[in-house]
Chains A and B, each alone.
Chain A
Amino acid sequence: MLNKNDEAILKQLGTDKTKAYQLLVNSYAGFVLNACLKQIPNKQDAEDLTQEVFLAAHLNLEKFEGRSKLSTWLYSIIINKCREHHRNQNRLKRKGVEQSIDDENIQWSNTPSVEFDHPGIQLERKEHANILFQAIGNLPENQRIAYSLNKIDGQSYAEVAEIMQQSVSSIESLIFRANKNLRKLLADFYEKNYQ
């Protein structure tokens, strides 16, 4: 179901695309920036990604038919852009070979794919949040996205399933495995650094 704001944007799209886009920016800039920050916890990178997301949204705005909420549609663009960003970062740091694609060989990598700089996390939690985001960065791609959307961004299983275009049961399984792997990664980190 579309909310009033989405309906206004769709209505404006029929008459003036530039105005519809401006309405979209004014309504969703904060939403997109915060969603990007929860996937890529670096202010500069998240701002660049936000710009890329809005450029893609502007180019494809006519294709939005209103079957889903605008936020869900924007989320799918955000996820694609974040996937690209992670892949580019891993390629740049030649970390791709280290990152596991299955659950069994998962291991902690000390090279974070992004430098942690999240302005929305309180100072006393920054150190712990940095470790958490590093651990999340070591998860296989789909687990990382599903976990971030559900646990960090607070989306329901059904919403995550719609954004990632998968069934609810496969999302449940992805998040279950992500949780298990995160515990394994964090235990590994704890043993190496605190014992």
Chain B
Amino acid sequence: MKQEDWINEILNSANDIDPVLPSKELMDRLNQVAPSETKGTIIPVRTVWMAAAGIALLVLLNVFTLRQYKKAQTIQEETVFETYYDHLNNYNV
């Protein structure tokens, strides 16, 4: 068979495709789409990401504030300690 004839035969091989009927299982699956979807509320992905970003920001702010607080507390303790010894030295105790 010549190449051109073979190519034409291939190109025509999808002519007259018989229609395929959907199976009962598929119809059941399709009919389940509606109730399963309407049961819950659909939240857009963007909203989920916004909420996640908000929570992450809150956690970061908390960590930052706690660190600052601890730093401030250490400085305060050191200052109190130093002033106590300064006081003793000043009075030659």
Contacts and interface: CB of A to CB of B under 8 A. Distances in A.
B33 to A, nearest CB: 5
B40 interface: no
Contacts of A75: none
A121 B27 contact: no
Interface in B1-51: 3, 6-7, 9-11, 13-14, 17-23, 26-27, 29-31, 33-35, 37-38, 42
A191 B11 CA distance: 17
A110 B14 CA distance: 20
B7 A33 contact: no
Interface in A26-59: 29-30, 33-34, 37-38, 43, 47, 50-51, 54-55, 58-59
Nearest to A46: B20
Given A55-B37, A132-B11, A190-B3, A152 B30 contact: no
Contacts of A58: 33-34, 37
A25 B14 CA distance: 26
A108 interface: no
Given A25-B27, A29-B26, A186-B7, A51 B33 contact: yes
A175 interface: no
Contacts of A128: 9-10, 13
B6 A190 contact: yes
A34 B20 contact: yes
Contact of A30 (B10, B21, B37, B38): B21
Given A21-B34, A22-B34, A183-B11, 10 more contacts: A30-B19, A33-B20, A33-B26, A34-B19, A38-B17, A50-B30, A51-B30, A58-B33, A132-B13, A151-B11
20 contacts: A30-B21, A33-B20, A34-B17, A34-B20, A47-B29, A51-B33, A55-B33, A58-B34, A58-B37, A120-B18, A120-B19, A121-B13, A121-B14, A121-B17, A125-B13, A125-B14, A151-B11, A151-B14, A182-B11, A186-B11
